[in-house]
């Protein structure tokens, strides 16, 4: 690391220069030497860029360009049937979102499903990590076990959950009726469907977050627990007063990642609607922003409108990030 | 120091070259060359005879059946210079947007592409200039096709009037019913008598449902879903969502509203099993016998057989629908951007010729759109063993020939989908009133059609 910084700073290249100039005195050998040292300098200056170039080329091609082009398309009326003919409409695609009840409905659903899935998910993950942090037999097995849902594909998991949450022959309703409750129409109820979609998300991501928490927990100095134990703190009190405060940056990180994930929620609600239509249920009751974007772009073929929704999602994320930063800044200064 | 520098220079140059090279390779890998990429499921063993080979690619969605019915192998045997490869995308929802983007850029296209009937109007109206006029292709006989199917594949006069899509199959409908459930409810179970129950009028179908329910008792559904009925009824109307001038008229067309209200009656009268078609629960409904009838296009017979399984054998039968109606079907188009457009047009003409359509029906149950095929024994004499040996060739030919010529519009799919999955589903599954369901559908369609 230190070697690199020395090499990269111009002052380190400097001492080489007199030697190169001095080499000009005598004939061909000197010229070769000049050339060599010049190449050396170019090498120092430019080869790092060559090393990182592949990433930036890919980023430009598959990250930056689509982002900017989407922004450009959002300012036009453009259809997937003829993507080359774009009609300039200014900010109309954005302003119309104000009156678009489907957009607001999708935004509302995204927030509620996001909360329904993120909050329990992180809470369970924290508890799980705490349990896994104990000295226990076969801990490696349990750690792998909590991660297995994460390794499952969204599609496979969702299709299984669709069967579990089936109205007529689903296992959840069967269990509910076995203990005397009414069967629930998981697909059609607003809260029921959002809860069902959230369970898929919780099931898939809890283990992943638990492992992140576990890693952070293992970095908490053991003396803290020892002294807490000496002070007579119970396991739960230790968890509350030692573990959680030490994990604050990690918790913040998982909150950010989960928020981004929740905003982009797409596969689960799409496939939860067994017909694979992007409506998110007959009343759009679990249509998320991602799903609405997909419906506008790839079902209704309105690329301009879809692009505007994509950018709106991006701006919403920036807003959330800004708010989180403000909140965190205030907390830290306290 | 010097020596070290030289070594380092060489090493850096090497890595730079390697890095740039890898990038170039990766980027090149992203640009697909249709001639070099080995397509999945393609017969890898092309006859490597001395003659120059032409590879024709066919892009389809789902289990289209052309390959499964052995048509490619037969064509390759007849034309040693031709090799056919097929790519398939499972769902049309994913296939169609990709086809549009490929047509837009003129790259990544197969030599022949399949198009679903609900998309064909959009294709003829917006993409006709990018497609070969197959009406003039060698071996194509307009007279062999059902006139309305031919008209659907033909671009509007304003767009040149070229026939860019050749019809493959269509979806003439019958009513599939459970003999045992009909008998238990005291209804006739013979297919002629069942057809006579509701012949000529969809309202009689509703009446039959009411009779069925009165006798079979609570909790016995007559139909699988209200939206299935709606699709069947709208499919029998001469005018649906667009008028002849290409204007959207579904809102004011009494046929559409009538079909919606009639289908909604099935829901409000408690005759529907409240299922959504093509969902896992619907599939389970077939195996559990949770409904007595379903309006079924020819292509659905195989689906029912798959889902109801051996337990349903000798229980299902198929009768004539109240009115001739069509649901589904496909077309083949040939993009001009293809390298072998001429050979591709010849192949498309051969694949959709009556003899080949009859084979597709025999092997896969896709009903021919070429009326000339109906006289062929493979069609006219066809019986379906699973459906009690029902004379399906006869039943569906009769339906096919009676289907009215309906104007199809570019957004047929979006309108039909929202009517079914928003409007009718709200009535059927959420217990909303038909009026509320209709208004919700209209709102969703208005939003979808607004560019």
Q: What pLDDT does A11 receive?
A: 44
Q: How far apart are the first and last CA of chain A?
A: 35
More confident position, B182 or A168: B182
Q: How far apart (Å, rounded) are the C-alpha atoms in residues B133 and A11?
A: 71
Q: What pLDDT does A138 receive?
A: 86
Is the sign of the CA dihedral B264, B266, B270, B272 positive or negative? Answer: negative
Q: How do residues A179-188 score in pLDDT, each as one tens digit?
A: 999 989 998 8
Tokens at A239, concatenated: 């968890």
Q: How far apart (Å, rounded) are the C-alpha atoms in residues A185 and A284?
A: 15
Q: Which fold has domain A101-333?
A: MetI-like fold (1.10.3720)
User: Which residues of A, range 116-155, sit inside 8 Å of B by Cβ?
Assistant: none
Residue A219 predicted with pLDDT over 60: yes
Question: How far is C-alpha A330 from the geometric centre of its chain's CA atoms?
Answer: 24
Q: What pLDDT does A134 receive?
A: 80
Residue A61 contacts B, CB cutoff 8 Å: yes
Inter-residue contact A80 to B103 (CB < 8 Å)? no
Residue A29 contacts B, CB cutoff 8 Å: no
Q: What pLDDT does A318 receive?
A: 92
Inter-residue contact B113 to B335 (CB < 8 Å)? yes
Q: How do residues A258-288 score in pLDDT, each as one tens digit?
A: 998 999 999 999 989 866 678 898 999 999 9
Q: What pLDDT does A239 receive?
A: 87
Q: Measured between CB atoms, which of B5, B276, B447 is closest to A40?
A: B5
Q: What pLDDT does B3 receive?
A: 43
Mean pLDDT over residues B165-191, rounded?
93
- CB atoms inside a 10 Å sphere around CB A230: 8
Residue B21 predicted with pLDDT over 80: no
User: Which residues of B, range 110-149, sit inside 8 Å of A by Cβ?
Assistant: 122, 126-127
Q: How far is the alpha carbon of B93 from chain A, nearest alpha carbon, in Å?
A: 7
Residue B5 predicted with pLDDT over 70: no
Residues B5, A36: C-beta atoms closer than 8 Å: yes
Q: Which long-range contacts (CB under 8 A, 24 or more apart) does A151-154 make?
A: A152/A204, A154/A200, A154/A204, A154/A267, A154/A268, A154/A271
Question: For residue A80, which of B132, B162, B333, B96 has the smallest C-alpha distance?
Answer: B96
Residues B19, A102: C-beta atoms closer than 8 Å: no
State which residue of chain B sits closest to A50, comparing Cα positions.
B16
Mean pLDDT over residues B103-129, rounded?
92
Residues of B in contact with A283 (CB under 8 A): 422, 426, 430, 440
Q: What pLDDT does A332 receive?
A: 59
Q: What pLDDT does A16 receive?
A: 45
Q: How do residues B187-238 score in pLDDT, each as one tens digit?
A: 999 999 999 999 999 999 999 999 999 988 777 899 999 999 999 999 999 8
Q: How far is the alpha carbon of A150 from chain B, nearest alpha carbon, in Å?
A: 24
Q: Measured between CB atoms, which of A50, A279, A283 is closest to B19?
A: A50
Q: What is the DSSP letter of A63?
A: I
Residues B8, A43: C-beta atoms closer than 8 Å: yes
Q: How far is the alpha carbon of A169 from chain B, nearest alpha carbon, in Å?
A: 8
Mean pLDDT over residues B139-154, rounded?
89
Residues B276, A274: C-beta atoms closer than 8 Å: yes
Percentage of chain B beyond pLDDT 70 is 88
Size of interface A-B (CB pairs under 8 A): 125
Residue B162 predicted with pLDDT over 60: yes
The mean of the pLDDT values for chain B is: 86
Q: Which long-range contacts (CB under 8 A, 24 or more apart) does A184-188 make?
A: A185/B429, A187/A272, A187/A273, A187/A274, A187/A281, A187/B276, A187/B429, A188/A281, A188/A282, A188/A283, A188/A285, A188/B429, A188/B430
Q: Measured between CB atoms, which of B104, B284, B449 is closest to A82?
A: B104
pLDDT-derived band at B299 (thresholds 50, 70, 90) equals: confident
Q: How do residues A14-43 score in pLDDT, each as one tens digit?
A: 444 444 444 444 556 678 888 888 889 988
pLDDT-derived band at B51 (thresholds 50, 70, 90) equals: low
Q: How far apart (Å, rounded) are the C-alpha atoms in residues B272 and B281?
A: 14
Q: How far is the alpha carbon of B221 from chain A, nearest alpha carbon, in Å?
A: 13
Mean pLDDT over residues A156-182, rounded?
91
Residues 6+ apart with CB under 8 A from B27: A57, A61
Residue A13 predicted with pLDDT over 60: no
Question: For residue B438, which of B203, B294, B237, B263 has the smallest C-alpha distance?
Answer: B263
Q: How do residues A53-112 score in pLDDT, each as one tens digit?
A: 999 999 999 999 999 999 999 999 999 888 888 999 999 999 999 999 999 999 999 999
Q: How far is the alpha carbon of B66 from chain A, nearest alpha carbon, in Å?
A: 25
Mean pLDDT over residues B49-62, rounded?
81
Q: How far apart (Å, rounded) are the C-alpha atoms in residues A222 and A271?
A: 45
- CB atoms inside a 10 Å sphere around CB B23: 18
User: Which residues of A, range 251-270, sit inside 8 Å of B by Cβ?
Assistant: none
pLDDT-derived band at B89 (thresholds 50, 70, 90) equals: confident
Q: How far is the alpha carbon of B9 from chain A, nearest alpha carbon, in Å?
A: 6
Q: Three-state SS string across chain B, please?
A: CHHHHHHHHHHHHHHHHHHHHHHHHHHHHHCCCCCCCCCCCCCCCCCCCCCCCEEEEEEEECCCCCCCCCHHHHHHHHCCCEEEEEEEECCHHHHHHHHHHHHHHCCCCCCEEEEEHHHHHHHHHHCHHHECCHHHCCCCCHHHCCHHHHHHCECCHHHCCCECEEEEEEEEEEEEEEHHHHHHCCCCCCHHHHHHHHCCCHHHHHHHHHHHHHHHCCCCEEECCHHHHHHHHHCCCCCCCECCCCCECCCCCHHHHHHHHHHHHHHHCCCECCCCCCCHHHHHHHHHCCEEEEEEECCHHHHHHHHHCHHHCCCEEEEECCCCCEEEEEEEECECCCCCHHHHHHHHHHHCCHHHHHHHHHHHCCEECCHHHHHCHHHHCCCECCCCCECHHHHHHHHHHHCCCCCCCCCHHHHHHHHHHHHHHHHHHHCCCHHHHHHHHHHHHHHHHCC
Q: How do residues B6-16 score in pLDDT, each as one tens digit?
A: 444 444 444 44
Q: How far apart (Å, rounded) are the C-alpha atoms in residues A82 and A69?
A: 16
Q: What is the DSSP letter of A153?
A: -
Q: How do residues B360-388 score in pLDDT, each as one tens digit?
A: 898 888 899 998 899 888 898 999 889 99
Q: What pLDDT does B303 receive?
A: 85
Report the half-sphere exposure of B345 (CA within 13 A, side-chain side). 20
- CB atoms inside a 10 Å sphere around CB A84: 7
DSSP H or E run through A275: none
State which residue of chain A sits closest to B284, comparing Cα positions.
A169
Residues A83, B126: C-beta atoms closer than 8 Å: no
Mean pLDDT over residues A118-141, rounded?
90
Residue B29 contacts A, CB cutoff 8 Å: no
Range name among A207-216, A222-231, A286-295, B258-267 with the lowest pLDDT average:
A222-231
pLDDT-derived band at B28 (thresholds 50, 70, 90) equals: very low
Residue A5 predicted with pLDDT over 70: no
């Amino acid at each position: 690391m230190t070697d690199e910084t020395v090499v990269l700073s111009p002052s380190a290249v400097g001492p080489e220069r007199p030697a190169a100039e001095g080499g000009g005195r005598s004939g061909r050998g000197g010229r070769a030497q000049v050339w060599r040292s010049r190449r050396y300098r170019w090498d120092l200056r430019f080869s790092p860029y060559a090393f990182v170039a592949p990433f930036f080329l890919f980023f430009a091609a598959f990250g930056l360009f689509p982002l900017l082009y989407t922004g450009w398309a959002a300012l036009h009326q453009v259809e997937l049937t003829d993507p080359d003919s774009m009609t300039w409409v200014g900010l109309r695609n954005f302003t119309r979102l104000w009156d678009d009840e489907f957009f607001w409905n999708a935004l509302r659903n995204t927030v509620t499903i996001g909360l329904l899935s993120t909050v329990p998910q992180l809470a369970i993950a924290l508890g799980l990590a705490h349990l896994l942090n104990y000295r226990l037999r076969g801990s490696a097995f349990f750690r792998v076990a909590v991660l297995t849902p994460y390794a499952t594909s969204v599609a496979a998991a969702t299709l299984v959950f669709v069967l579990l949450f089936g109205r007529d022959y689903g296992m959840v309703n069967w269990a509910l009726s076995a203990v005397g409750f009414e069967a629930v129409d998981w697909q059609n109820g607003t809260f029921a469907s959002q809860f069902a979609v959230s369970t898929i998300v919780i099931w898939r991501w809890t283990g992943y977050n638990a492992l992140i928490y576990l890693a952070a927990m293992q970095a908490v100095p053991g003396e803290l627990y020892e002294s807490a134990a000496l002070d007579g703190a119970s396991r739960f009190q230790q968890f509350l007063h030692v573990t959680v405060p030490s994990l604050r940056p990690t918790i913040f990180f998982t909150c950010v990642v989960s928020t981004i994930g929740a905003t982009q929620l797409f596969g689960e609600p799409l496939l939860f609607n067994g017909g694979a239509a992007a409506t998110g249920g007959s009343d759009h009751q679990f249509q998320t922003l991602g799903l609405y974007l997909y419906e506008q772009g790839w079902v209704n073929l309105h690329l301009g409108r879809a692009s505007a929704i994509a950018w709106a999602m991006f701006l919403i994320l920036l807003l959330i990030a800004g708010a989180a930063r403000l909140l965190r800044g205030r907390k830290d200064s306290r | 120091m010097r020596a070290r520098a030289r070594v380092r220079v060489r090493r850096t140059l090497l890595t730079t070259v390697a890095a740039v090279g890898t990038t170039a390779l990766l980027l090149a890998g992203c640009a697909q060359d249709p001639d070099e990429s080995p397509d999945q499921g393609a017969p890898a063993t092309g006859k490597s005879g001395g003659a120059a080979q032409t590879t024709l690619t066919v892009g389809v969605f789902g289990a289209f059946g052309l390959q499964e019915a052995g048509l490619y192998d037969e064509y390759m045997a007849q034309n040693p210079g031709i090799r056919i490869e097929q790519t398939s995308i499972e769902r049309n929802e994913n296939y169609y947007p990709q086809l549009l983007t490929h047509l837009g850029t003129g790259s990544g296209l197969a030599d022949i592409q399949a198009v679903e009937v609900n998309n064909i109007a959009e294709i003829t109206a917006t993409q006709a200039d990018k497609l070969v006029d197959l009406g003039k292709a060698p071996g194509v006989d307009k007279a062999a096709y059902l006139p309305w199917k031919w008209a659907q594949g033909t671009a509007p006069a304003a767009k040149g009037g070229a026939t860019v899509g050749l019809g493959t199959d269509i979806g003439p409908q019958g009513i599939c019913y459970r003999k045992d459930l009909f008998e238990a409810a005291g209804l006739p179970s013979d297919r002629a008598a069942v057809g006579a129950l509701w012949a000529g009028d969809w309202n009689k179908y509703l009446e039959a449902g009411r009779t069925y329910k009165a006798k079979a008792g609570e909790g016995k559904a007559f139909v699988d879903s209200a939206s299935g009925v709606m699709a069947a009824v709208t499919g029998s109307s001469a005018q649906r969502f667009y008028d002849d001038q290409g204007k959207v008229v579904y809102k004011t067309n009494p046929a559409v509203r009538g079909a919606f209200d009639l289908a909604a009656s099935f829901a409000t009268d408690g005759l529907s099993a409240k299922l959504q078609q093509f969902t896992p629960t619907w599939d389970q409904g077939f195996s559990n016998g949770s409904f007595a009838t379903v309006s079924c296009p020819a292509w659905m017979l195989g689906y029912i057989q798959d889902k109801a399984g051996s337990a349903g054998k000798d229980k299902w039968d198929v009768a004539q629908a109240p009115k001739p109606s069509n649901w589904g079907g496909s077309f083949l188009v040939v993009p001009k951007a293809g390298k072998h457009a001429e050979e591709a047009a010849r192949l498309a003409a051969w694949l959709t010729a009556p003899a080949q359509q009859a084979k597709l029906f025999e092997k896969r149950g896709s009903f021919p759109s070429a009326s000339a095929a109906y006289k062929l024994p493979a069609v006219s004499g066809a019986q379906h063993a699973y459906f009690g040996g029902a004379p399906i060739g006869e039943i569906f030919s009769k339906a096919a020939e009676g289907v009215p010529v309906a104007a199809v519009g570019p957004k047929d799919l979006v309108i039909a989908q929202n009517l079914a999955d928003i409007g009718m589903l709200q009535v059927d599954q959420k217990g909303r009133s038909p009026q509320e369901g209709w208004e919700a559908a209209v709102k969703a369609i208005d939003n979808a059609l607004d560019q």
